[in-house]
A and B are shown apart, each in its own frame.
Chain A
Amino acid sequence: MKNITVKYGVDSITKQVEDDFTFGDLQESDSFQAALGFGDSTKALVEGIEQDRGTVIPAGTTVRLETAANTKA
């Protein structure tokens, strides 16, 4: 297990997750969604750099989630 901190706007949460927990897992996580209020369309950034969904989140990382822009319907 490892700790990660996730920020969405002014809100943040630190939680323990599985060692193989990826950025994609975070973006689809019901518990993080419920705690922080983000939607289905997000991008994950670490120190301003967008991360690939398949990448495992290193222990102790602070992840900033942002609302992703959609295209016109």
Chain B
Amino acid sequence: METTEIIIRENGTLTERVVRERDLEAGPSVLDALTDEVTRSLRNVLAIPGWGLAHANVGLNDTIWSVPIDHLVLNARFRLIHGVLVPVFTSGTDLEMPLVWRAPKEVRLAFVIRTQLSEGCARIDGNWLFACDQDNRGYRLPLPNLHDDCLICTGNFEDRYDTGGECVAASLEQFRKSKWNADLMRTTEQSQKFFRFQPTNETFETLPIQAADWMALCDKVSTAILERVIL
């Protein structure tokens, strides 16, 4: 459709303005392009036995799954120092055992999985471990096998499944059974102030973090993945 307007300007000039309108073939591809960065957050999507609920942040190209966790299984070597059992990730001789570290309530842990649809199946595209404070600031725990952006060095495991839920469960199982070694290790001192255990007659009790402010033992992080984490 075309319309013609004649404009009389203040100085007496006559101007013709032609307006042409047509419907564009603006299908789903245009909408997809416009909403490429838009994501939606869904809470309580899955229940993972032994871990809890998984939340999902769904984007056009991927899904970020967040599993708030309250413990870490540290398959590592430990040493008794002044009656306190602490990890020695760099050791090749100390006693190796899986100890469960219980996070204090002020340390909010998020295990994060990114999945993408690939060739008809869901593919795991990375696992992250974040510690967050009450104001949602993110931190890298003083652990080895964690990159600066909190990406976990998981080792190789099957990364293709029929569903996103299976990807989440498989990632958590790999996380639970993996051994922590010295790769990407920072300072031993910070780890040993953070992860402390008291041997008792029957088990190993998690001791409080040896710092007035637990964040002082961690590195503050900010990443695009963390922005999409749901706690």
Contacts and interface: CB of A to CB of B under 8 A. Distances in A.
B91 interface: no
A73 interface: yes
Contacts of B226: 9
B5 interface: no
Tell me the interface secondary structure of chain A in the complex.
loop
Contacts of A73: 183-185
Tell me the interface secondary structure of chain B in the complex.
loop
A37 interface: yes
A41 interface: yes
A68 B149 contact: yes
- Residue with the greatest number of chain B CB neighbours at <10 A, chosen from A37, A67, A72: A67
A72 B135 CA distance: 30
Contacts of B185: 73
Contact of B220 (A8, A64, A70): A8
Nearest to B145: A72
Given A9-B138, A48-B37, A66 B183 contact: no
Interface string B144-176: 000111110100000000000000000000000
Interface in A1-16: 7-11
Given A9-B222, A38-B222, A67 B148 contact: yes
Query: For chain B, which range describes its interface: under 10, 10 to 19, 20 to 34, or 35 or more residues?
Result: 20 to 34
Query: For chain A, which range describes its interface: under 10, 10 to 19, 20 to 34, or 35 or more residues?
Result: 20 to 34
Interface in B181-231: 183-185, 219-224, 226
B136 interface: yes
B137 interface: yes
A39 B219 contact: yes
Contacts of A8: 220, 222
Interface in A36-73: 36-39, 41, 48, 64-70, 72-73
A6 to B, nearest CB: 11
A38 B147 contact: no
Given A10-B137, A11-B137, A39-B219, A70 B153 contact: no
Contact of A67 (B37, B136, B149): B149
24 contacts: A7-B222, A8-B220, A9-B136, A9-B222, A10-B135, A10-B136, A10-B137, A36-B220, A37-B220, A38-B222, A39-B148, A48-B37, A64-B222, A65-B222, A66-B149, A66-B223, A67-B150, A67-B219, A68-B148, A69-B151, A70-B184, A72-B184, A73-B184, A73-B185
Interface of B: 37, 135-138, 140, 147-151, 153, 183-185, 219-224, 226
